[in-house]
A and B are shown apart, each in its own frame.
Chain A
Amino acid sequence: MGDTSRLCSVWLGSETGILKGVSLSRKQAFNFCNASHLSRDQEVRALCWGDPAESELLVGSVDGTVKTFSTEKGAFTETRSCGDPADGCFVGLAALGGSALVTCAECGTLRVWREDSSEPVTELHAGQNVSRMRQSPVHRHKVATGGKENGLKVWDLQNPQSPVFSAKNLRDDWLDLRRPQWVRDMAFIPDSDKVVTCTGYHQVHVFDPATPQRRPVLEFEYGEYPLTALSLPAAGNTVVVGNTHGHIALLDLRKGVVRGCLKGLAGGVRALQCHASRPVVASCGLDRFLRIHSLEDRTLLHKVYLKSRLNCILLASTDLEAGGGEGGAPGVKEEDEGGEDDEVWETMERVEEKTKRKTTTTTTTEEGELQKKRKKGKD
């Protein structure tokens, strides 16, 4: 079990309670299940890495338990009960350093749990009907929450009395009617204090807590259906959003314009995640497929059928995607070797994978020809 889980680079949680690991280089999906029989209240609602080394996964289920899954051993190591099912399902799960974790339920209670006690260390109320809670990747003690008729609030867990930043609703519209607000997902933009949110009324907002303005700094709309998921690619200035009809779009944050759409999804998008370093985005949703698109040319790289509806997704930051990818450091080494022997080149050319690695490292004149070969191979 351990060796299959070590191969997996994408982790997904499904509605049937099964944690699925997918290894893209081998094109295989593995199911990891806790109990011997499945049940619907094990439905996975939240998934996050337990530690920065990405050796442990925290899985939050509908019945209020958080299970720890170790990727080394390939099994669930412990279970903690963190809240009642009566509170609502988990909308956010995050790990603080030192085996503490933060959970947020739909009724708005945000709790910080430590390993030893069964009572939460800190508890705060983030309003009613919270749809999502996310942790800032830079400042681990900052979390953002938002929901239906519950605007974006950024909390500092060290001072849980009041939010650090609480957003104001948009101005009333041209009929002087109050605008409804429904924050579905949010993300912290790295290198600054800004937060991007997507709403159920097909809007995308950018908030800047550094400015005194509590209303969104940037607002634009996409499509006609509620946006359900959001992710920030590693290269800045863009955001990927998905809506309930299965449309995934790449939006530019500087101007508020659609850069392009990613096609293929037939059902509503439940979760999106961009890879930490490569321009690749993974999406999963109600149509039971995991799709991986490349952000540069918006083509579909991988599509895997996983038999249950998928709720959450996590990407490992290791470079295990796309067997014929462009390597960084290994490519440099090959350049030194390849320049020497023509015979070595010719023997290597027969195996297709190796030529793919070579294409990025050969001189520019050869690259054109070999790139043509590579494109044909991909078809």
Chain B
Amino acid sequence: MIKFLLMVNKQGQTRLSKYYEQVDIEKRPSLETDVVKRCLSRKKEECSFVEYKDFKLVYRQYAALFIVVGISDTENELSIYELVHNFVEVLDKYFSRVVTQIMFNLDKVHIIIDEIIQNGHIVETNKNRILAPLLALDKMAEAH
């Protein structure tokens, strides 16, 4: 299963975090700092999977943004690697210029993620279906 998902900038600051396994709120910042440090310090030649404590990290970089996913030992790393890309493509479809737009619309990114992953498992991968609730929400907001 997926334990958490982080979107982090190049300076290592968490811009978005989603936890699917119980982690005490006070413990989250230090976990995030540690995880992010591990991923950001990796060299180009190193693979995208990091062994961390008793689980694994999958990370991908998109321009100035890092997406880090913590997964359990039994999860398929290559599959999660694909999932991250799928997620970014959905963001791309909704926002035209992803990185700056995200900062102003973090709540929407959360909504998108909730349509893709729920309690640590994939719930939908079809891009149109993922975006449907958000588009409906946008329509409702416009109407007001």
Is chain B found bound to chain A in the same assembly?
no
Taking Cβ atoms with an 8 Å cutoff, the residues of B that contact A are: none
Q: Which residues of A contact B (CB under 8 A)?
A: none
